[in-house]
Amino acid sequence: MFRRDRIYARFISRLLVVGALLVLALALTSCRTPGSKRSEIAESTYKLGMSHLLSGNTQTAFVKFHEALKLKPKHKEALNGLGQTYMNLRDFPKAEENFRKAVKVDASYSEAHKNLCFALYNLGRLEDAVEACKRALDNPVYNSPEKAYYNMGISYYKMGKYPDAIDAFDNAVKRRPGFIPGYYRLALSYNSNRQYGKASDTMNQAVGLDNRFQGDKRLAEDWFRQQKKNEMISPVEADQFLDILHY
């Protein structure tokens, strides 16, 4: 009888342990499910925000990114999207703040580093901008390196470091041969560095690749004059582009 009691006691003990483990498993599942659901809603809300941002609905995008971040505060893409929204509003300090939050979540997040570079460029912190672009390029699987090189190039150009700008823009067009903005800026950098032959050759490449002109330099001249008139390009740069077209 005593032996039977011991067996029964062990059985009850094991049953209690199994029951406790089952309760714990259920508790963990119930805790995980709401979090998973929140994450799914945050992702869909972020995507909706990006759709509005790309459509030019800045105010709605702003709201959606905030909603996504309430659900998932460390949603790096939503932080990056919010930074882009602030850039569209030309609030570059707020843009910087959100891009820095994004790269704090993921130090290898190249898109946010590239955007941080552009925000810093607009804030006049050019050395910091270059470093941010270098961080973007540290990631070997970054699929848009030409954009980081471009932002690096405009930062170097503004500093008057024309050989460095040439190197950056050259890398941009090598990474993506059809990247037309890179060719225009490369031509401008060659011109500022007094490499006029290379400036002319690169401008011809740009005009040939640009569907607006299809190699017609007269159309390109008219376009740059109009951009200068509408103040879409600085008068100094517009005049340089026009000079290069006449070489």
Q: Which domains are present in the chain?
A: 38-143 (1.25.40.10), 162-247 (1.25.40.10)
Using the predicted structure, report yes or no on whether residue 35 has a pLDDT greater than 80. no
Note the pLDDT tens digit of each residue in 46-100.
999 999 999 999 999 999 999 999 999 999 999 999 999 999 999 999 999 999 9
Quick one: average pLDDT of 230-241? 93
- Tokens representing residue 114 in the block: 């590239």
Which residues, other chains included, contact 144 with Cβ-Cβ below 8 Å and sequence gap of 6+?
Answer: 110, 111, 114
What are the Cα distances from residue 62, in Å, to 109, 110, 145, 174, 179? 21, 22, 27, 35, 30
Note the pLDDT tens digit of each residue in 99-143.
999 999 999 999 999 999 999 999 999 999 999 999 999 999 999
- The amino acid that residue 151 corresponds to is N
| Nearest one of 83, 149, 77 to 106, comparing CA atoms | 77
The mean predicted confidence, pLDDT, of the chain is 89
- The CA-CA-CA angle for residues 33, 36, 39, to 5°, reads 150
Using the predicted structure, report yes or no on whether residue 34 has a pLDDT greater than 90. no
pTM: 0.83
Note the pLDDT tens digit of each residue in 203-223.
999 999 999 999 999 999 999
Length of the chain equals 247
The per-residue pLDDT for 38 is 86
Q: How far apart are CA 97 and CA 91, in angstroms?
A: 10
